[in-house]
Structures are given as C-alpha cells and as structure tokens.
Chains A and B, each alone.
Chain A
Amino acid sequence: MLSPQTAVFAVSDIPLAIVLPVIAIGLSLMWMLPRGGRAPSRLAKVLPLTLVWGSLFSLIGFGRFAVGEVLFGVFATAALLAGICMITSRNSAYSALWFAVVTLSVCGLFLLRSAPFLSAATVIVYAGAIIVTFLFVLMLAQQEGTAGYDATSSNPLLTSVFGMVLFGSLIVGITSWPKEAISVASAGPIETPAAEQTANVKGDAPLAAAPPAQTHRYFKSDETALANAWSRHPEGEVGSLHGLGRSLFGDYLFAVEFAGTLLLVACIGAIAMAPRRPQGTL
C-alpha cells in the first residue's frame, strides 16, 4: 500500500493488486463492446462479466459475512454488472432496462448509507420518469429494433485505455488517501446535556442557542464547514425527512428556489423546441 506521506508517486509505487484488476476490467470491456458482426453468444458474455466481477471485488474487498456487507455486495454487484450490460448491449431498449437495474441498485446503496428519502426520490424520478421517457423516444424513433449503428462502437480500443487510466488513477487516489490526518482516533458521540436534548425534542429552542457539538465516525466535527449552526444534526437525523428538510429549506433555500426555476425554464424550453406538425393535424 502507498504511504500517505509521500507527496509524489512513482508509477512503480502503484501495487500490482490495483494494476492487474484494472487491466482485466479494461480488456473485458474492450472484448464486450459491440464491434460489428454477429452478436457474441451468451457464454462469451458470462466469462468477461465474471472476470470483471472478480476484479472489482478484489479491489473492493469481499468483507465479512454480515448483513450489511452482504447487502452491499449484492447491490454493488447488481449495479456494476448491469452498468456493463447497459453499455455493451446491442439493443437500445435493453440498455434502458439495464439502466433501470443500475438505478434500483444505486438506490439500495443509498439506503445502506441512511438516505431513505433520497433513494425513494431517485426511484420515482429515474425509474418512474426518465426511463419511461427514454423508452417512449425509442418507441417513436427506432421502431425497427436493432439498428446497424448499435452493432458497432466508435474507438473501443482508445476508450478502453482511457477508462483504464481514469479508473486506475481514481482507485490509487481513493486507497492512498491519507485518512489518518483527518480521522479522530476514538470518536464516540459526545453526550449532550439533558436540558438541551429536551429543548431539541420540543423544537422550541431559541435560535441563538447553538445545538450541541457533534463528532462523527471518521471526521472531526466540521463546524467551519457549516455556517448555520442549526444544520448540525443529532446523530439519528442523518438522511431523515426531518433533517433533510431542515437542510434543504434552511441552508439551501435559495438553491431550492433556483432548482424550481430551472425546472420551469427546462419545461418551457422543451415545449418550445418540441418538433410539431402543421396546425390542425394530430
């Protein structure tokens, strides 16, 4: 493993445990991308998929046999394999359906990171609206099924090399990131005084009284990052509707208004740009 203190990395510092899986993933992707000719058989797809799965999980680590780890493994496997199937499928309707699988798996990962509202919103927006719209456009535009341009891809070799370099550098960056510098060695949640707790539960505490300072699992309490003292939440409020609503409509009220305006502008633009027939015909 890389030492976090070294500021400059040599290429020889990158361990083989990162290089080999990344190269295996790139080669399998290059093999699976459509290259014209007949579609490969099912067996010829299962083999590189297995290779990619093994390589990815050798990078991630298989973990212990606990419920959280097993769920993470299931969702991560589904997301990554469905993603590969999406970009290598020769039928664009199947691509859209694989993307739905990716979305649902990512929502499972959101749930594991205590984001229940976000995962429900993602399912509604992506699987409920975006995929359906894409399928409608496919239905309008590509009625004859698989087209010739779906069976070939542009520059699979160059793009796979690009992907390998990008993914490898991301992995090196993630794994050699010096976490010791910012992690708190033994950070337990600080007990909040009972009076403040009751005030928080009632919700009628004066705004001048700052809520109790929090410490987090790996990071120091980042009070400087949060300008508004009220956006520091008690431990149980991460991702809950209460906490998320307070963050959205407290810290990010202008951003929420701006997002609403953005939706309106996009709606007007879509109506203005939509191709229409001469008047009087349907």
Chain B
Amino acid sequence: MVELDKYLIVGAALFVLGAIGFLTRRNLIVMMLSAEMMLHGVGLNLVAFNYEHGHNQGQSFTIMILTVAACEAGLALVLILALYKRRKTLDVDVWGELGEAKPLCDVRLERRSATAEPAEEEETADPRLTPAGRLPRFNKQETATRV
C-alpha cells in the first residue's frame, strides 16, 4: 500500500467517526467535540497531500482550519451556555422545535386583555426581534386629499 493511502484512510476513519458521533450523541458538548474530530480528519488529509506534493500549501490550509476551529469553538460554547441558561440541560432533543413557543402577536393580545403575570414575563425573556411599534393611524380623508 502506498504511504499516502494509509494517512488518507486514517483521516477518513476520523471523519466518519466524528460524523457518527455528531449524529448520534445527544449532549451538545460531545456533538461539538465530534465536529472538531471531523476537522482533524480533514487536516490529516491535507498534511498527507502536502508531504507528497513537497510544498507548504496543505499546511497553510490546515493553519486556516485551526483558526476557524478556534473561532467555532468559542462561539459554540457561548451559544451552548446561552441555551443551557434557558432550559438548564445540555440535551439537544429539548431544542427540537425551533419556532417560538408562542407567536408575538398572541403574547401582545394576552397582555392587552389581561394583566401580565410574572411567570409570563419570564417566558418572554427570549431574544426576540425588536417590536415594530404601534401601527400608525391614518386619516383616510387626509390621505385621499393628498393623493
């Protein structure tokens, strides 16, 4: 077997193991680690080809991958902490529904109809789009004369 093939096979195995881990595990942090292992497999491929070609392009690419992996890990951990703060668990199945629990207009209607309860306030502490404000009232006759 050619020397290059051995490294390619190890890289492929690392990539597939990472993919399986990403798809099966339910812990958010283990999923992130599996994604990093996929990056390791790709980096190993690049370095093996780099050695065969005899220049430094593959290693330069791998350093770029390293940079992106560092950024990705930092941002992912912040997001995981934010998610954990909401539901107090690292289980990914909790986040199966991506939609908001209640549409914003319904929340507003409820507020208008009844006094808001404190529990409801806590529920609406989700990050939401900025409300667009009150609908402007048009004077029909005035707009008609303007046009």
Contacts and interface: CB of A to CB of B under 8 A. Distances in A.
A238 B7 contact: no
Given A79-B14, A247-B60, A102 B37 contact: yes
Interface of A is mostly: helix
B82 A275 contact: yes
B16, B18, B73, most chain A CB atoms within 10 A: B16
Nearest first, the 9 A-B pairs at minimum CB distance are: A87-B21, A266-B71, A247-B56, A216-B54, A149-B91, A153-B24, A170-B12, A259-B67, A113-B51
Nearest to A153: B24
Range class of the A interface residue count? 35 or more
Interface string A126-137: 100110011001
B9 A149 contact: no
B37 A86 contact: yes
B9 A154 contact: no
B26 A154 contact: yes
A60 B7 CA distance: 9
A125 B75 contact: no
Contact of A110 (B36, B47, B82, B85): B47
A133 B10 contact: no
Nearest to A113: B51
A274 interface: yes
Interface stretch (A3-11, A41-49, A138-146, A202-210): A138-146
A95 B37 contact: no
Contacts of B26: 149-150, 152-154
Contact of B7 (A86, A109, A155, A231): A109
A149 B31 CA distance: 13
A141 B25 contact: no
B39 to A, nearest CB: 9
7 contacts: A56-B13, A95-B30, A113-B47, A174-B12, A219-B54, A246-B56, A270-B78
Contacts of B14: 79-80, 83, 102, 106
B70 interface: yes
Chain B interface SS verdict (over half) = helix
Interface in A231-278: 231-233, 235, 237-239, 243-244, 246-248, 251-252, 255, 259, 262-263, 265-267, 269-270, 273-275
Given A140-B81, A238-B51, A239-B50, A162 B10 contact: no
A155 B10 contact: no
B71 A217 contact: no
Most chain B Cβ neighbours within 10 Å, of A99, A114, A140, A248: A99
Interface residues of B, number: 72
A115 B21 contact: no
Given A80-B13, A174-B12, A233-B54, A86 B70 contact: no
Contacts of B56: 231, 233, 237-239, 243-244, 246-248
A149 B89 contact: yes
For B6, B12, B18, the residue with the greatest tally of chain A CB atoms inside 10 Å of its CB is B6
Contact of B30 (A87, A129, A179): A87
Given A133-B77, A262-B67, A84 B17 contact: yes
A50 interface: no
Contacts of B33: 86, 95-96, 99, 134
A170 B81 CA distance: 36
Nearest to A252: B60
B71 A87 contact: no
Contacts of B6: 60-61, 63, 72, 76
Contacts of A226: 55, 57
